[in-house]
Chains A and B, each alone.
Chain A
């Protein structure tokens, strides 16, 4: 809490200093190293931690369930400890490093691009340099996001009482949806507050900007990211949660043996790429039309603006998983194990949601960083940029959708193979 207040305080103090910019683009270029550091550690955390987690998990299951016929997390199986440690390393440390990487990259991308391209407009013809409060809009958005998330998170811990098992998932859902709705409103205030009435974006390398922008445009970009983050989370939950038809149908086919589980599960996983890819393509397209690469960076930022809550929901998963393991190892009885299992089932779903957030925003950030590079190296003034280029919004959106299509098609074909095989068994 103290840290949060400090950061907010620092931000407020900072805005009062904000005047004309002397070389802010250099400052923000130095800041870009921050994002690189975050994603550098995320690489090691995700890969090293992830491999350790999965290896420990598979090893424990192989020894326990396949060879010795022990139940999950049995105290007789020494590999259980490694499994539980692996949950901490991979799902907590690895995941937070990963999301931190996305978060640092997206803010850095927005800062770097805006420092080079954003100009305030005093009047129709007069261009002034941008004020610092405009440039710090990404940080302000994240800071406001923290405040909103504090308020929303008290709902689940103090107001909503989780007494029955179905209420666990609904509480977590209320958290995400509530924070998204509140942030939708507050982001508009932040935009009005930090952007001038009219501003220019220096696109295409011309130093005299031609197009006037208004504060609603960054608002729309951020909101698009925010809402699509929620939709991605909802779709991920639909695909992975045990209370909806996909997982229930998958469980029903397991009666015929493990083979149909593998094929249909793979099909379900392939199918789940459908909605996130389309959403990311739509954001990339719309945001790029409105504000260029800055808009794309804002979209990624909007997706991460309720990051504290999505991280909380994420971190809750491995904790309840380990709680289940401890209750089994300490032989605390059926009832306790039953409760922790209910918590854990909800936690597995939420872990998938966090991955959707991290990957979706990373895709957007990569596009905006690419655009920022093109602008800084003034490659975008060349004629080749007017032909087929990866950075054009429609081409990037088409690429994403095209990359998604084979997965969805193979999902349908694998699914029908699995269904036919299941019918033969029956």
Chain B
């Protein structure tokens, strides 16, 4: 895909690099999500022994961490690339 994009688009390598960055960030955020999920699901089970409220809090916090990591990584990656291209 990288090579195809390089040859077919107007901006050549720049678009291809953006493609690679997008793909890498997408994979990263997916794996961050998986790591967080595996680390929190047994914690949720443990907290469920104490009651519903702590279990919910742990699970929801994990979800939050995942969501914020994904969106902010996406935003950051793009901003850095725009900034890089400006020079």
A residues contacting B by CB (< 8 A) are 1, 3-4, 6-7, 10-11, 14, 17, 26-27, 29-38, 40-42, 45, 88-89, 92-94, 96-97, 99-101, 103-104, 107, 139, 142-143, 145-146, 149-150, 153, 156-157, 161-165, 168, 171, 307-316, 318-320, 322-327, 330, 332, 335-336, 339-340, 342-343, 347
Contacts and interface: CB of A to CB of B under 8 A. Distances in A.
Given A139-B78, A308-B64, A314-B63, A36 B19 contact: yes
B26 A319 contact: no
B68 A149 contact: yes
Nearest to A323: B44
Given A30-B85, A162-B53, A92 B60 contact: no
B75 A142 contact: yes
Nearest to A135: B82
A347 B44 CA distance: 13
Contacts of A343: 44, 48, 52, 55-56, 59
A424 to B, nearest CB: 42
Interface size class of B (residues with CB under 8 A): 35 or more
A46 B25 CA distance: 16
Contacts of B66: 92, 96, 311-312, 315
Nearest to B24: A37
B63 A326 contact: no
Nearest to B76: A7
B38 to A, nearest CB: 6
A339 B48 contact: yes
A325 B37 CA distance: 13
Q: What does DSSP make chain B's interface, helix, strand, loop or mixed?
A: helix
Interface of B: 1, 5, 9-11, 14-27, 29-31, 33-34, 36-38, 40-42, 44-45, 48-49, 51-53, 55-57, 59-64, 66-83, 85-86
Q: Is the contact region of chain A dominated by helix, strand, or loop, or is it mixed?
A: helix
Given A96-B70, A162-B56, A319-B63, 11 more contacts: A29-B11, A38-B26, A42-B26, A92-B66, A93-B33, A100-B74, A165-B52, A168-B56, A314-B67, A315-B36, A336-B45
Contacts of B78: 31, 34, 104, 107, 139
Contacts of A1: 68
Contacts of B73: 3
Contacts of A156: 60
A157 B61 contact: yes
A319 B37 contact: yes
Contacts of A146: 68, 71-72, 75
Contacts of A104: 22, 26, 74, 78
Nearest to B20: A37
10 contacts: A31-B18, A33-B19, A97-B26, A97-B29, A99-B70, A142-B75, A307-B71, A311-B66, A312-B60, A339-B51
Contacts of A150: 68
A6 B19 CA distance: 22
Nearest to B43: A323
B56 A30 contact: no
Given A100-B74, A312-B60, A37 B23 contact: yes
B19 A34 contact: yes
A45 B30 contact: yes
B48 A327 contact: yes
Given A7-B76, A104-B22, A33 B17 contact: yes
A311 B67 CA distance: 5
- Nearest 7 pairs between A and B by C-beta? A37-B22, A311-B67, A33-B18, A323-B44, A93-B30, A315-B63, A322-B41
A14 B59 contact: no
A324 B55 CA distance: 11
A103 B33 contact: no
A3 B76 contact: yes
A319 B30 contact: no
A32 B45 CA distance: 42
A36 B1 CA distance: 10
A316 B64 CA distance: 8
Contacts of B24: 37
B74 A103 contact: yes
A332 B80 CA distance: 48
A280 B40 CA distance: 36
A345 to B, nearest CB: 12
Contact of B49 (A38, A142, A315, A332): A332
